[in-house]
Amino acid sequence: MRPVLLLPLAALLALASPLPAANASAAAPAPGSAACDAAPEPAPAACDGEGPLCPAAERARIACELRQAIEARYVFLTTKPFTLAAAGRPAFEPRAHLEACVEGERAVAVERDPLRFYDRMRRCVAGFEDGHLLLRVPSGAPQVALGVGLRLASDGRVYVASRSPALRQALASAGFDDPGALLAPGTRVVAIDGRPVREAMDVLAAHLPGSSAAARDERAVDALTRRDFLHPDRATAALTVIARGARRTVRLPWWASPGAERGALGRALLARTGIRTAGLGEAAAALVDGGDPAGGVRRTDSIFAPDEAAALRTYTGDGGGPAVRLGEVPGPAGQPVCYAQLLSLHTEALSADGERRPFTEVLGEFLRACDARGADLVLDLRQNGGGYLSHSTALARMLLPAGASSPGGALVLRATEFNEGVYRERAPMLGGAPAVGVRSRSEPERVLESIRGARKAGDDFTPALLEPPLRPDPAEGGFRGRVVALTSPSCMSACERLAGLLRGGGRAVLVGGPTEGAGGSQQEAKGLAARWTDSRGRLSVSIPNAAMGVQPPGGAGEQASADDFFAALALENRPVAPDRRYATTRADLVEHGRGWREQAWAALEHERPLGRP
């Protein structure tokens, strides 16, 4: 059986303001939608030959179906107003927001550019401030990029972080001069197309999913030069930079992803704007899909200079991209330190040198070797987008010293027919009855029983399902070294759960920025996908149907209600806070993470050893 993908998870929590009774408020019937109940209007003559998304009625139909799907499935439908208010966000009413999205489409009688409709839907979904409410365009939205990566630094300024190795060749092919040193790593960018860079980021952030403002900023600064929404209306972009003490303007062409012309949306964009596709073979893919930078630092780089980073062993995940880097490096005072960079928990196996092995087997072997050598550990979680719950639990257990224990996680599900179907399929049952010979309930059976009980009682949520305390495997002896975990707003979902488990058990010092605060979960089974698609396949949105949390130090007791869970344990819009704050500086971009290294070494030197004399 495949591991369960539980994309959000948990964190150590500062208690927020108490929420009203979750089950009571969610059980209230949904009000009708005047916009959705209205009879569809005939398509205007102006839409003849303009495509299916031109008429308002068709777009309003999609918005209505999205509204209904979120109301039926979304785990935070009734709690979002309170978590956002507790986080200092403006008042938010989910049903009124969705109604406004429907009305907004009815107000646009004719839409000749489908990409603008998808942008409005992105902004609609982004209004929930949830990093797991991800919108996709089944027919494929074209991606555009400038070949330059930017980063937001701790001083609030935006700097060049990297350049695609294909950019110089691409510029020459397109008849542009290579700006060279004007776009060297560390160059400050102050405006794009005459708009201040902070203002441009805010426009983009309003269309991006994110459970915290910091997470949306991270995604928005990336989107300044690479995105598949809010497409540019011209073929070039003007970057205003400060280089050699003076303001200079650098003009770069936008590049569309290879093959963009094969889709209707891409063809229309290229024809309207004159943007070119990257036609330089495999090297051109770096313009839109990443690739080794010509100097500078990518988000997924380690905290070491290239010569030291080359000694790390890189493992690829199920999708073929880098997922884990492991190795031993010189630490404080030259002492060896183990370094584990986890870029993803969303892979069942790791591959290196032609060998494919289970994820936890690779990590367990590495940690046992580190422990045997008496090495401490720096766990780099800064760019981990989450993945499997089982991986975060296993890693938290591996890092406990022998004889120690740590509070576990917590889960709450909406008590819906869909979720009952998911767990009915997961549970080892035949015809709705326990399989012959099964004496104890499996975890899926326990969840299924909880969902059924809540539905029978008319509750919208299950009680909180609490994980028992975590303990290391006695056969492996535990990990005795110090642990420093590096975090940032790009650590989300299962990554946050791992950070929360480590901090909740007092097992690691967290260094860096708060995590995202994305606490939803996609509970699904074969034939029952958490991703929703409208009836005609125009729009797709992942809708979290469960919520994750981490128990506080000492545990949450034997049981907890859904109300207690949302008031104190849930992660959504509540990032895991670091013990020692740090954010990327300009020096990190030009000196390959020097500041991050110094922070990690300082934390190790001040941390008391656990499990060793």
Give domain status of residue 9, yes or no: no
Task: Select from 254, 289, 324 the last residue of a domain.
Answer: 289
Same domain, 120 and 176: no
Residue type, position 97, single letter: H
For residue 330, give its domain range.
306-412+467-523+548-606
Three-class HEC string of 432-472: CEECCCCCCCCHHHHHHHHHHHHHHHCCCECCEEECCCECC
Kindly tell me if the per-residue pLDDT of 144 is higher than 80: yes
Please count the structural domains in the chain.
4
β-strand pairing of 322-330 with 336-342: antiparallel
Residue 157 lies in a domain: yes
Residues 296 and 44: their CA atoms lie apart, in Å, by 52
pLDDT digits (tens, 9 = 90+) for 71-98: 999 999 999 999 898 777 778 999 999 9
Please give the Cα distance from 577 to 189 (Å, whole number): 29
Within this chain, do residues 502 and 385 fall inside the same structural domain, yes or no? yes
Average the pLDDT over 492-508 and give the result: 94
Task: Tell whether 504 and 517 lie within a shared domain.
Answer: yes
- Note the pLDDT tens digit of each residue in 45-55: 889 888 999 99
In this prediction the pTM is: 0.90
d(CA 84, CA 88): 6
Q: If pLDDT is split at 50, 70 and 90, which confidence band does 279 have?
A: low
Range of lowest pLDDT (67-81, 234-248, 440-454, 486-500): 440-454
Instruction: Dig out the tokens for 352 from the structure.
Output: 């290196």
Whether residue 292 has pLDDT greater than 60: no
Across the range 389-403, mean pLDDT stands at 93
pLDDT higher than 50, residue 157: yes
Average confidence (pLDDT) over 161-166 = 85
- C-alpha dihedral sign at 270, 147, 125, 217: negative
Question: DSSP readout, 244-263?
Answer: TTEEEEEEEE-EEPTTGGGS
Domain boundary pick from 71, 103, 136: 136
pLDDT at 25 over 50: no
More confident residue, 576 or 85: 576
At 535 the pLDDT is 95
Neighbours of 73 (CB within 10 A): 18
Last residue of a domain, one of 246, 264, 289: 289
The pLDDT tens digits for 529-549 are: 889 999 999 999 999 999 999
Asked, for residue 247, whether it belongs to a domain, the answer is yes
Q: Please, which pLDDT band fits residue 304 given cuts at 50, 70 and 90? A: very high
**Whole-angstrom Cα distance, residue 589 to residue 582?**
14
Same domain, 246 and 310: no
Task: Please determine, for residue 427, whether its predicted confidence score (pLDDT) is greater than 90.
Answer: no
